[in-house]
DNA sequence: CGAGTGACCGCAA
DNA sequence: ATTGCGGCCACTC
């Protein structure tokens, strides 16, 4: 049972991250909340760390709008480049207009 | 099986 | 406003 729930949570996170459009960012807390675990932001980070690299983790940042990843291929440098490549301006590792770029999905289907 | 870690968040002093 | 602490969840040792 618990295993299934854990798996579901992971699957949810994967799905959500995979749906993040280019030029948009999302916070761990937001993802965790939408997944059904409001305070499982840390878990999202763990899933991101051990999860597949097929997903745009570089669009996932912490509540401060700072790139917490740094673990993505290329390190923070690559991360910043990727974000900039998507019209996301980053200054001092902080996303500009982060509030505006924050993508809020309309409830998981 | 038990304990520790971590790409976090929120609240209290 | 800033700093410190706890709590939650998943994964590894």
Distance A18 CA to C1 C1' (A): 37
What confidence category does residue A57 fall into, taking pLDDT thresholds of 50, 70 and 90? very high
Q: What average pLDDT does chain A have?
A: 89
Distance A78 CA to B2 C1' (A): 39
**pLDDT per residue over A10-36, tens digit each?**
999 999 999 999 999 999 999 999 999
- Strand positions, DSSP E, A25-92: 26-27, 60-61, 90-91
Distance A1 CA to B13 C1' (A): 41
- Domains in chain A and their CATH numbers? 2-97 (1.10.10.10)
Q: Is the CB of A44 under 7 A from strand C?
A: no
- Whether the per-residue pLDDT at A5 is higher than 90: the answer is no
**Between residues A3 and A59, which one has the greater pLDDT?**
A59
* Strand B: positions under 7 A of a protein C-beta atom: 5-10
Q: What pLDDT score was predicted for residue A1?
A: 65
Residues near A13 by beta carbon (within 8 Å), at least 6 away in sequence: A31, A32, A35, A44, A47, A48, A51
Residue A32's nearest CA partner among A21, A22, A19, A45 is: A45
- Whether the per-residue pLDDT at A108 is higher than 60: the answer is no
Mean pLDDT along residues A64-71: 83
**C11 C1' closest Cα residue:** A46
Q: What pLDDT score was predicted for residue A107?
A: 61
């Amino acid at each position: 049972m618990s295993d299934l729930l854990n798996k579901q949570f992971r699957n949810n996170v994967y799905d959500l991250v995979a749906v993040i459009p280019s030029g948009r960012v999302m916070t761990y807390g937001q993802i965790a909340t939408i997944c059904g675990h409001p305070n499982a932001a840390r878990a999202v980070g763990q899933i991101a760390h051990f999860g597949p690299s097929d997903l745009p983790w570089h669009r996932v940042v912490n509540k401060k709008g700072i790139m917490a990843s740094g673990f993505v291929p290329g390190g923070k440098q690559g991360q910043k480049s990727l974000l900039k490549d998507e019209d996301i301006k980053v200054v001092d590792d902080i996303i500009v207009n982060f509030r505006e770029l924050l993508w809020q999905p309309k409830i998981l289907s």
